[in-house]
Amino acid sequence: MAHDTHDIHRSRAEFEFIKKKRAAEMRGQLTSFAMMIFLTLIAFTLVAADFSTYLIVPIILLLAAIQVVLQLYHFMHMSNKGHGMMAFFMFSGMFVAFMTIIAMVTIVWW
């Protein structure tokens, strides 16, 4: 419980370190942005090229999953420190949702 705000004084080394870290983060964001564009292109090409639906749907779902992970880790800062618990709960939620869907698909609708 912080009661009041603090002034932050950084040493030269700290400043350099943060600068470097931010540059790396920016690089990560740009790379994943490029990858996302590329993934979207693949998706559109698949549809435009008129492949079988049974090929297109699973591939697009897979691309979507990759995109979600990129989004979470590079743009929503889950790669930063202190996000362990959050990641744990998100993945548990995904796990439960996945179990539900798998069960519904295999034993109710199949």
Partner 1 sequence: MSSNSQKKGFGATIWDYLTTVDHKKIAILYLISGGFFFLVGGVEAMLIRIQLMKAGNDFLSAGTYNEVLTMHGTTMIFLAAMPILLAFMNAVSPLQIGARDVAFPFLNSLGFWLFFFGGVFLNLSWFLGGAPDAGWTNYASLALASEGHGIDFYSLGLTISGFGTLIAGINFLVTIINMRAPGMTYMRMPLFTWTTFVASALILLAFPPLTVGIFFMVFDRLFGANFFDVTMGGNTIIWEHFFWIFGHPEVYILVLPAFGIFSEIFAIFSRKRLFGYTALVFATILIGFYGFMVWAHHMFTVGLGPTANAVFALATMIIAVPTGIKIFNWLLTIWGGSISFTVPMIYAVAFIPSFVAGGVTGVMQAIAPLDYQLHDSYFIVAHFHYVIVGGVVLAILAGTHLYWPKMFGTMLSEKLGKWTFWFFFIGFHLTFFIQHFLGLMGMPRRVYTFGADQGWDLFNAISSVGALFMAIGVIILLVNVVMTVAKNERVGNDPWGDGRTLEWAIPSPPPFYNFAQTPLVRGLDPYWIEKMEGNKEGMVYAEPLGDIHMPNGSFIPFVISLGMFIASFGAMYFMDDKAWALPVLIGGLAITFGSMLVRSLKDDLGFHVTKEELIADNERIQREARALEGGKKGGLK
Q: Which residues bind partner 1 (CB under 8 A)?
A: 1, 3, 85, 89, 92-93, 95-96, 99-100, 103-104, 106-108
Contact (Cβ atoms closer than 8 angstroms) between residue 101 and residue 109: no
Least distance between partner 1 and beta carbon 65 (Å): 20
Closer residue to partner 1 (CB): 31 or 80: 80
* H/E element, 43: helix 12-48
Least distance between partner 1 and beta carbon 102 (Å): 11
Q: Which residue has the tokens 């292109």?
A: 41
Least distance between partner 1 and beta carbon 89 (Å): 7
Q: How far apart are CA 70 and CA 22, in angstroms?
A: 18
What distance lies between CA 56 and its chain's CA centroid?
22
Closer residue to partner 1 (CB): 34 or 101: 101
